[in-house]
Amino acid sequence: MIRVEDVLAALTVEAVLSRYHVDYIDGPEIRLAQCPRCGADVKREGFAVNRDAGRWVHHSGPVGADNPCRGDLLDLVAAFEQLDRKRDFRKLVEVAAAIAGVSESTDRAELDARRERYAREREQRTREAAARRAAATAAVPDHWAQLPRRSVAGEAYVKGRGLDPGELIACDAVRFDRGDPAVRLHAYDGTIINVARRLRVPWQTPSGDVRKMMVLPDCTTDGTLVGKVADLDVVGEGPDVAVLTEGVADTLAGVLAFPGCVVLGASGAARMPDVAAAIAPRLVEARGWLLAVPHVDGGTGEDYAALAVIAAEQAGLKLDESIRLVDVRPHKDLCDAVRDGWRWRWS
Amino acid sequence: MSEPTGVDGVDRVRARVDAFHNGAASVDPAERTAERAQNGAAEHRTSPPTPTGPEDAPHAADALPPKPRGPYGKGTYTDFGADPDPPPPRAHRPPALVDLIMRHANEPLVPLKLGGDELAVIRPGGIVAVMGPTGAGKSSLVAGVLVAHDGPTVVLSRELPADEFAARAIGMQKDASWLDVLTGKVPRHEMERVLMPRLYVLDRKDATLGALHGAIQAAQQEYPGQQVLVAIDYVQILESPEREARAKVADVLARIDDIARAYRVVVLAISQMSRASSRAARNGEALGADSTDGGAESAAIERFATMTLSIGASGPDREDGTRAVDLSIGKGRMTGGDRVLPMSYCGRTGRWRMAGDARRTEEVRAEREGQRNGAKQRTAELAMVAAADKATEPQKREDLAAVAACSKDVRRAAMTALLARGDLVEVACKSARSRAWKVWRPDKARAAGIRLADSEDE
């Protein structure tokens, strides 16, 4: 009987791709222009396969643990064969075994050796990834501490966006990394776990994506920009209003536009629901308010802001009572609004 | 709840939240992701869901963020912490639409010059597709326009190495061939003098649209306020993730269009021609608007281009090495198209110059038709005269005309001309049941003693 562990140990990315006649450029991360699972054409080769680990993902949005377009090599074979891993498992293993060159007659000792090596390598990779992430995260506070507080180019950029760099520097909301404005990203427990910088000149990746914001490699982006959840006061007369923004520029604009409030930025719109879910319980405890600032783009910005509102409501806040939506129209975001003289009015 | 069209900002947020409260969608991230993936798969695999009425239960996708899409495709937020993808398209509405107009209202139009003459004027953000058969001088024409441009120029030369492109640009100004420049026969100081100081060249493997962003930014930063002119040589060989040729060209042009509009630059995009279009261009059949769709592989060239320039039929080489060439302006958004420019091209140096004013295509076509038919008519006349000479008796017009292998109109015109000149005459005899006089050569009729039709009338 063919064991799935033997098949997985023997299966390689090259064998799978070659079986399905997929042309690719070889490298540690192989990028494809079409997802074999959902059939979507991915314009900028957003379908990535890690050659060594055999893990693959179709970057179709915020990557969730249960995104169906991702998995291991067996999932990849299932994707190409349009099989359901659970329902058609036996057939899937047979197909994968044929690709891997594993059969009933394959020497058992050799299969055992392969399986052990595969398990060792997988553990090793997991350990290395965890170690890399831990080391990278541990180095973030030092990295932040070493960033210059002043930069001619960076301050000029901030000023060009209509924000007062002096005020932001004075409250240590912004520092500068290679001339780009940078802000710290806190974990929900308050530790600094990443630094996000707003690129003065957006970067075009080799695959064609344009990035306006960069973070440190191997560090998570699940946290709050500039402010900390713990800054919300639950006992005394401290700040009990959280301002939820997205992106570096809007978060810095929030610091200027909402004095006395705790400005908590999400690292991209897709992170807004996560941040809202993390800060809402504390706001409930503090009996405070959440001011959500959606981007005005007629789509993604508002939709993620809506999810953030829903997440906050599930924790006990209520729209139009303890949740206020900040309307910056006709501007497209808070930064532009502040630049043009917009001011928040409590009503 | 249906899609809140035309709603943005906090109103859209409220609509989404209401949709959730009405049971339209889940906020659980796991379900959210799965649902989005399902929606994405359906989008690519099946036709969109058919709306069955406003009273329908709200669609689950309504309260979800749409599958991210945008000119640059997907980003990976988690891995890189990038900003979210651009929003899906939405309708422009007044008064924001007026803002959109006014945002670029003060931008000066970019003149495309050739020597001292103005070839065309293009709005920043436009694409000019330059097409022509192989070896017709497309790259040289574009180089000529770049040489005459006052501002910085960026060249994405996938086909020619940078030195060969520069040699072309130098040669056309120094009346020297490529080879003369490349072998150093033009003095170095002359090369330095004539080569555009604001030129940026990305060649061969470096010539990617990704690199183009950087080059344009560098040019705009170094020469602020000046109009950047970009040349791409050529669109069919630029890299694209698409595999199918048409999809590839369409993808490349879509990205070029994004770049042109984002940086407000004019792009001269050189395009190969399909074989059929090349043939038509060389024969002079594809003139003016008919040359618009000549680009190989894709109708996207025609669609994205603000203007199409197509190199067409050329005359024989003159003594000075130049030849007359038609340059068709097929499409000219805002400036009018369907015109033909008479040009002069020197194949040795690659120098183009304008040889006259643009003319309407119909005018040129009529002239060409006349010339072409004139030659055919002369051939038909010779054939008819020869047949009449050989004939032993007067001939019916139809029999005589049948010897000329040309259209009925040309035969009729040839016969009329021959009769008018007296090379053929109508004699006083008719075929049975015919009302037309037979025709013959005048000397033969005289020798045979047959009276002419005119004399009988008299």
For residue A308, the distance in angstroms to the closest alpha carbon of chain B comes to 9
Q: If you measure CA to CA, which chain A residue comes closest to B216?
A: A201
Test A271 with B86 for CB contact under 8 angstroms.
no
Would you say residue B1 has pLDDT above 70?
no
Contact residues on chain B for A307, CB-CB shorter than 8 A: 16, 27, 32, 65
Reported as a pLDDT band with limits 50, 70 and 90, residue B286 is low
**Closest-CA residue to A206 (of A58, A70, A14, A31):** A31
Q: If you measure CA to CA, which chain B residue comes closest to A324?
A: B10
Residue A283: the pLDDT is 92
Residue A336: the pLDDT is 92
d(CA B247, CA A330): 37
Rounded to the nearest integer, the mean pLDDT of chain B is 76
Among the residues of B177-244, which ranges form H helices?
178-182, 188-194, 209-222
Contact residues on chain A for B224, CB-CB shorter than 8 A: none
DSSP B55-73: TSPPPGGGGSPPPP--TT-
Test B77 with A313 for CB contact under 8 angstroms.
no
pLDDT in tens, B10-55: 888 888 888 888 765 444 433 444 444 444 333 322 222 333 333 3
Reported as a pLDDT band with limits 50, 70 and 90, residue B155 is very high
Are B395 and B434 spatial neighbours (Cβ–Cβ below 8 Å)?
no
Contact residues on chain B for A44, CB-CB shorter than 8 A: 72-74, 241
For residue A326, the distance in angstroms to the closest alpha carbon of chain B comes to 7
Residue A207: the pLDDT is 53
Mapping DSSP to helix (H, G, I), strand (E, B) and coil, where does residue B426 land? strand
pLDDT winner (highest mean) among A127-136, A294-303, B267-276, B362-371: A127-136
Test B72 with A44 for CB contact under 8 angstroms.
yes
Residue B250: the pLDDT is 84
**Closest-CA residue to B291 (of B332, B260, B319):** B332
For residue A169, the distance in angstroms to the closest alpha carbon of chain B comes to 23
Are A311 and A270 spatial neighbours (Cβ–Cβ below 8 Å)?
no
**Residues of A (144-163) whose Cβ lies below 8 Å from B:** none
Give the number of other Cβ atoms within 10 Å of residue B264's Cβ: 17
**Residues of A (31-70) whose Cβ lies below 8 Å from B:** 33, 38-46, 59-69
| Percent share of chain B, pLDDT over 90 | 11
Test B37 with A67 for CB contact under 8 angstroms.
yes
Instruction: Give me B329's structure tokens.
Output: 């302006």
What pTM did the predictor assign? 0.44
Are B345 and B365 spatial neighbours (Cβ–Cβ below 8 Å)?
no
Mean pLDDT (whole number) for B414-427: 87
Residue B71: the pLDDT is 29
Test B243 with A326 for CB contact under 8 angstroms.
no
Mean pLDDT (whole number) for B183-207: 87
**Closest-CA residue to A136 (of A216, A223, A224):** A216
Which residue positions in chain A have pLDDT lower than 70? 41-45, 60-68, 204-209, 347
d(CA A255, CA A335): 10
CA geometry: angle at B366 spanning B360 and B368, to 5°? 105
CA geometry: angle at A175 spanning A170 and A181, to 5°? 120
Are A8 and A118 spatial neighbours (Cβ–Cβ below 8 Å)?
yes
Residue B38: the pLDDT is 43
A292 touches chain B (CB under 8 A): yes
Are B361 and B289 spatial neighbours (Cβ–Cβ below 8 Å)?
yes
Are A67 and A60 spatial neighbours (Cβ–Cβ below 8 Å)?
yes
Test A39 with B41 for CB contact under 8 angstroms.
yes
Phi, psi of B323 (to 5 degrees): -145, 155
Residue B298: the pLDDT is 60
A298 touches chain B (CB under 8 A): yes
ipTM score of complex? 0.75
Place of tokens 């039929």: B313
Between residues B150 and B87, the one the model is more confident about: B150
For the four alpha carbons of B338, B342, B346 and B349, in that order, the dihedral sign comes to: negative
d(CA B231, CA B234): 9
Would you say residue B232 has pLDDT above 60?
yes
Place of tokens 């004013």: B357
Q: DSSP code of A194?
A: E
Are A283 and A267 spatial neighbours (Cβ–Cβ below 8 Å)?
no
Length of chain B: 458
Test B27 with A314 for CB contact under 8 angstroms.
yes
Element (H, E) at B80: helix B77-80
Q: How far is CA B32 from the centre of its chain?
A: 46
Would you say residue B244 has pLDDT above 70?
yes
Test A212 with B88 for CB contact under 8 angstroms.
no
